[in-house]
Amino acid sequence: MSDSEDSQLEARLAEQEVFEPPESFVEQANVSDPAIYEEFEDDWPACWERAADLLDWETEYDEVLVDDDEPFYEWFTGGELNASANCLDRHLDSRGDELAIQWEGELGETRAYTYEELHREVNEFAAALRDLGVEEDDVVTMYMPMIPELPVAMLACARIGAPHSVVFAGFSADALATRMNSAESEYLVTCDGYYRRGDGLDHLSKANEGLGGVDHETTTVVVDRLGDELEHELGADQIDYDELVADHEGAAVEPVTRDAEDMLFLMYTSGTTGQPKGVKHTTGGYLSYVSWTSHAVLDVKPEDTYWCSADIGWITGHSYIVYGPLALGTTSVMYEGTPDYPDKDRMWDIVESYGVNQLYTAPTAIRAFMKWGSEYPEQHDLSSLRLLGTVGEPINPKAWKWYYKHIGDESCPVVDTWWQTETGGMMITTLPGIGTMKPGTAGPPLPGIDAQVVDTEGAEVEPGEAGYVTVNKPWPGMLRTLYKNDERFLEEYWQEYSDEGEDEWVYFPEDGAKIDDDGYITILGRVDDVINVSGHRLGTMEVESAIVGVEGVAEAAVVGGDHDLKGEAVYAYVILEDGYEESEEMSDRIIEGVEDAIGPIARPEQVIFTPELPKTRSGKIMRRLLEDIANGEELGNTSTLRNPEIVEDIERKVSGD
């Protein structure tokens, strides 16, 4: 496209505020009748049978929803099923030879698993886990990058009724140890390493370091991803994955019958305190919900090739790379590496090679693609794409429109899906076969989801005013509790807006939002001490405690500042102990301390040394002010501070004057 055509298009798109779903999409959409919103409302909670009907149940459930002990809801009570049987066995007759997973390594090697092949390996590994002593309800931790053995291990656990707890491979050794200790997990599945930008990275040393911090005996299975590239020695309680699977060649493991409410997995996520929260998801409700949303929102059909470019180490990968797509019998693409290796067209090369039909990615990635330029997607035939999705953070209209035009060729609906680790699956988004799209606005709540935007008192705000998202009715994919911590579950999610006396239970996701006249919700971001870096959730407290763990640091305050690519970035304001000097070396040590405690995603963008932090007269750190400083914004009245004189000093440092 010439520069002038490009700018004409930009001008036209810049003005367009609403977009209709393309006719060609609507005609074939899994869900295209607008009556669905009313049907779900009129028939609530029985409407959720539609989600459960997407699964095979060994025993039919007696009740859709049991709410005797709110907010500890139960879904599809009395029902029995197995998640691995739903993702594998039931597809064998009709789709055994079709691809379940199409994997591509960073160096270009590929591995494809048909449903039959995936079923075989999952059975073999399930048999191996049993032989290692894993019993039903034992938590098995996985600390693995994007390699096929990760979904194999997850499904093998599901098969034998052992909940998994996947720890993102980019997290540090400390983070692994904390999570294994918290879950009392005695089993770990990990690997020797993986590729990043063409280099083989050692992962096992990090896993071993983490295991050193686990306070009970463990058994570890190690996948050999790097072969000769990285020689590694296994410890006495470590077993090679390939040997284990070979020893169990041809094994068949009957899927264990699980109650709908039995735990399928745990996923640790960040909250307001330094201690990560173990979000508990169950078998029947979660699997129904991710299958339903994959069907209704991502328009997944068995014959599709579908690609979610998230990492399985986060909830998005659990719900929309593994469980949702495989339950629907589609082909799910997995890519090991970075989107700009060996060049910035890697994603588009993958879309073209496999004929990807749906692409689900993060706004951070889209902003990077935009910066790299449209010449990269233009080198490839992307006409197989039918739907585009985004998740994890707000998407600005400019990035939305770029995605719509340059990737979707103005012929794919874009779904901007708001949800959380805790919600299990999507909650607020347009339905692609029905809803008008408004860039920058996620859309209305999904059918059956009673989300509102309210003020601090819980009253609905006027259109255009800022408020808080609440969810006023339960839904099947919701978390059931925080692992072994019902009290924290109640405190974190149900205290703010519920009225226990009136038996009114309201879920509070801790997000700010606005609503418009059409009921479309625009998410404004977290209102708690959680920041969102490239769609990854970090607790400011976690980062602060990593920083004060560095020798010489007396106090730290961490906030999220705006960032062109990452959405938000970590800004660390640090007070040093007497006798320690501000220096680049000190700053490097702090950054290293954060990387060691959490992982590179939490790396501070800037470390700002200060003799004091701005505090209120009651001694609370003024975080809002620190955020404004990081964003270079005009500061309001600072006279209520105990130490207003410090503000100018800090501002000067941040702006580098």
Residue 239 β-bridge partners? 221
How near is the Cβ of 200 to ligand PRX at its closest, in Å? 28
Helix (H) or strand (E) holding 44: none
Choice between 288 and 421, CB closer to ligand PRX = 421
315 near ligand PRX (CB under 6 A): yes
Residue 215: count other Cβ atoms within 10 Å of its Cβ. 9
Q: Is 82 in the site for ligand PRX (CB under 6 A)?
A: no
Which string of DSSP letters, residue by residue, matches 241-288?
A: HHHHHHHTTT---PPPPEETTSEEEEEEE--SSSSPEEEEEEHHHHHH
Q: What is the DSSP letter of 448?
A: T
Contact of 296 with 289, CB cutoff 8 Å: no
Question: From the list 86, 123, 185, 269, which residue makes contact with ligand PRX (rule: CB under 6 A)?
Answer: 269
Q: How far is the CB of 380 from ligand PRX (least distance, A)?
A: 26
Does 253 sit near ligand PRX (CB under 6 A)? no
Q: Which is nearer to ligand PRX, 385 or 442 (CB)?
A: 442
- With CB atoms as reference, the residue minimizing the distance to ligand PRX is 421
Residue 484's region, left for phi above 0, alpha for psi from -120 to 50, else beta, is left
- Cα–Cα distances (Å) from 553 to 199, 561, 587, 610, in that order, read 34, 22, 10, 11
Pick from 86, 305, 316, 331: which binds ligand PRX (CB under 6 A)?
316
Minimum separation from the CB atom of position 260 to ligand PRX (A): 23
Which residues 414-433 are close enough to bind ligand PRX by CB under 6 A?
416-421
Q: Nearest distance from residue 319's CB to ligand PRX, in Å?
A: 8
Residue selected from 52, 350, 523, 601 as contacting ligand PRX according to rule CB under 6 A: 523
Q: Does 470 bind ligand PRX (CB under 6 A)?
A: no
Per CB under 6 A, 101 contacts ligand PRX: no
149: contact with ligand PRX by CB under 6 A: no
Contact present, 605 and 571 (Cβ < 8 Å):
yes
Buried b (16+ CB within 10 A) or exposed e, 587-607: bebbbebbbbbbbebbbbbeb
The single residue among 104, 259, 299, 393 that binds ligand PRX, judged by CB under 6 A, is 393
CB of 485 to ligand PRX, least distance (A): 17
Q: Minimum Å distance from CB 537 to ligand PRX?
A: 4
Nearer to ligand PRX, 393 or 628 (CB): 393
- 250 alpha-carbon distance from chain centroid: 34
**Quick one: 442 or 506, whose CB is closer to ligand PRX?**
442
Rounded Cα distance between 62 and 153, Å, is 31
Q: Which stretch binds ligand PRX (CB under 6 A): 22-30, 83-91, 145-153, 523-531?
A: 523-531
Which DSSP string do the residues of 71-97 spell out, in sequence order?
TS-EEEET-EE-HHHHHTGGGHHHHTT
Which member of 511, 542, 568, 628 binds ligand PRX (CB under 6 A)?
511
Amino acid letter, 650: I
Nearest to 414 by CA among 380, 363, 352: 363
- Give the span between the Cα atoms of 135 and 129, in whole angstroms: 9
For residues 158-178, b (16+ Cβ closer than 10 Å) or e, as one string? bbbbbbbbbbbbbbbbbbbbb
392 is an interface residue for ligand PRX by CB under 6 A: yes
- Nearest distance, CB of residue 429 and ligand PRX, angstroms: 7
By CB under 6 A, residue 537 contacts ligand PRX? yes
Q: Does 509 bind ligand PRX (CB under 6 A)?
A: yes
| Binding-site string for ligand PRX from residue 336 to residue 375, where x marks contact by CB under 6 A and - marks none | ----------------------------------------
Provide the minimum distance between the beta carbon of 524 and ligand PRX in the complex, in angstroms, as a whole number.
8
Q: How far is the CB of 509 from ligand PRX (least distance, A)?
A: 5
Pairing assessment for the beta strands 277-282 and 263-269 based on DSSP bridges: antiparallel
Measured from the CB atom, is 471 or 607 closer to ligand PRX?
471
Q: Which is nearer to ligand PRX, 255 or 392 (CB)?
A: 392
222: which strand partners? 190, 240
- Smallest distance, ligand PRX to C-beta of residue 393, A: 5
CB of 314 to ligand PRX, least distance (A): 6
Compare residues 152 and 530 and give the one whose CB is closer to ligand PRX. 530
Output the six-digit token pair for 483: 């692992």
Residues 6+ apart with CB under 8 A from 395: 363, 366, 403, 416, 439, 440
Q: Hey, what are 76's tokens?
A: 């599809």
User: From the CB of 496, what's the least distance to ligand PRX, in Å?
Assistant: 14
Write the interaction track for ligand PRX spanning residues 482-501; mark x where CB under 6 A is met and - where it is not: --------------------
Q: Is 423 helix (H, G, I), strand (E, B) or coil?
A: coil
Report the nearest approach of ligand PRX to the CB of residue 178 (Å).
17
Q: Which is closer to ligand PRX, CB of 262 or CB of 311?
A: 311
Q: Does 526 bind ligand PRX (CB under 6 A)?
A: yes
442 binds ligand PRX (CB under 6 A): yes
Alpha-carbon torsion (304, 309, 313, 314), positive or negative: negative
Closest CA to 415 of 405, 404, 424, 407: 404
How far CA 567 is from CA of 240, 303, 361, 513, 531, in Å, comes to 40, 35, 14, 16, 10
Q: Roughly what angle, to the nearest 10 degrees, separates helices 173-183 and 584-597? A: 30
The site for ligand PRX, by CB under 6 A, has a size of 21
Instruction: Please tell me whether residue 540 binds ligand PRX under the rule CB under 6 A.
Output: no
Interface residues toward ligand PRX, by CB under 6 A: 269, 315-316, 391-394, 416-421, 442, 509, 511, 523, 525-526, 532, 537
